[in-house]
Amino acid sequence: MKTTKHVRLARCLSLFGVLLALVVMLLGAWTRLVDAGLGCPDWPGCYGKLVVPDDATALAHSPHVPLDPGKAWAEMFHRYMAGVLGLLVLGLTFLAWRARSVAGYPWRTSAVLLLAILLQGAFGAFTVTLKLWPQVVVLHLLGGLGVTLLFLWLYLSLRRIDARARGGYRLSRPGALWLIAIGLLVLQIALGGWTSSNYAGIACHGVPTCNGQWWPTMDWSEGFNLTQTIGPNYLYGQLHAEARTAIQVAHRLGAIALGLVMLLLTVRYWHRRVLRPYLTLLSGIYALQLGLGIANVLLWLPLDLALAHTAGAVLLALVMTMTVWRATSLPQSCSSSMNENAAETSGLGGVLTLVSRRQHRKLRYETQRPWLPEGTDQ
């Protein structure tokens, strides 16, 4: 099947979308880190205007919220870039409709991406109107990450159209270890957002101990109270010291758990040569993230390191997605032979005596190397 111009354009735009979504996420993190999340007290405008107004206009609109032009422009620039990202998603949705006749076109991914960007816009509005309520701030962070990964998934799916035309690849389900790693990564990123939105980044002084203790006094129930009151201004946080300490310790424990699972993944799948570059990169980014986290604590959360820590988390999620994609890509020829063999053996109660021991070993060896097309030798 010849790839249409709509598919080629969608592939380029989806890759651009990954980069643009990453920029938007970093702008959001920068806005939060410079305490500009409420630089504009309303949404989608700023003091009722589409651009940052002068002092007199701002005073007339919101007398009790003084205008800080620097913070207001930081917030509005983030919104402008998010708007461009929304237009890009609309364009990809239009291309999906135009290419609906192309076999294998990932129109479902395009539809989910459209839904995700709409939800992300709502979370952005709630972030302002609910005055940085930590729950919605974390959802906004996860929503941004979801949009970024959907752009990547769409790009990979569009590339697969050519592979299918050449008798290429299909996706299998990831194994349990991959699912555990993905779940822990999402949880750790959510914990990072919870740490930041509750201003618990430097609740612990020192590494590896916290305030000179291995297990300091902590208030877990308050630190992870998901029913915090809606209404107060959560700029700079509302929690007491013991609750923030619990959040920081939880984030550290999450990093340890994620590191152990990633080590297991590396050991388990290192025999697959095609995965080694991905696993090496994944481990390297994790090590970098660990170093950035330690440096943020020791250096009292400098802006550049805090922003780099956010970028590292997104990059880790992107590489994890690409690794899972590569690990679950099966050549059609290999998958077909596996299905045929399964059908034969299931018809006789799963008895493997239909094939010789040597043939059985060969089949097992091939299924352990699903990334290699037939006739390819390492």
Which of residues 150 and 1 earns the better pLDDT score? Answer: 150
DSSP E strands: which ranges in 157-204?
A: 169-171
Catalytic residue, chosen from 75, 242, 344, 374, is 75
CA distances from 7 to 116, 203, 224, 249 (A): 21, 49, 45, 47
Which of residues 361 and 127 earns the better pLDDT score? Answer: 127
Average of pLDDT values for 330-349? 43
In DSSP terms, 330 is beta-bridged to 170
What span, in angstroms and rounded, lies between the C-alpha atoms of 40 and 47? 6
Answer whether residue 64 shows pLDDT above 90: yes
Residue 44: strand, helix, or coil? coil
pLDDT of residue 3: 55
Which of residues 282 and 378 earns the better pLDDT score? Answer: 282
**Structure confidence by residue, pLDDT tens digits, 231-285:** 899 999 999 999 999 999 999 999 999 999 999 999 999 999 999 999 999 999 9
pLDDT of residue 322: 97
pLDDT of residue 274: 93
CB 319 within 8 A of CB 281: yes
Across the chain, mean pLDDT equals: 88
What span, in angstroms and rounded, lies between the C-alpha atoms of 117 and 112? 9
Global pTM value: 0.86
Nearest in space to 106 (alpha carbons), one of 56, 166, 171: 171
Contacts for 10 with CB less than 8 Å, ≥ 6 apart: 92, 95, 96, 99, 154, 158
> Can 75 be counted among the known catalytic residues?
yes
Is residue 4 very low, low, confident or very high in pLDDT (cuts 50, 70, 90)?
A: confident
What is the 8-class DSSP label of residue 2? Answer: P
Answer whether residue 171 shows pLDDT above 80: no
**Structure confidence by residue, pLDDT tens digits, 198-210:** 999 999 999 999 9
pLDDT of residue 179: 96
How many CB atoms neighbour CB 327 within 10 A? Answer: 22
Half-sphere exposure of 108 (CA within 13 A, CB side): 3
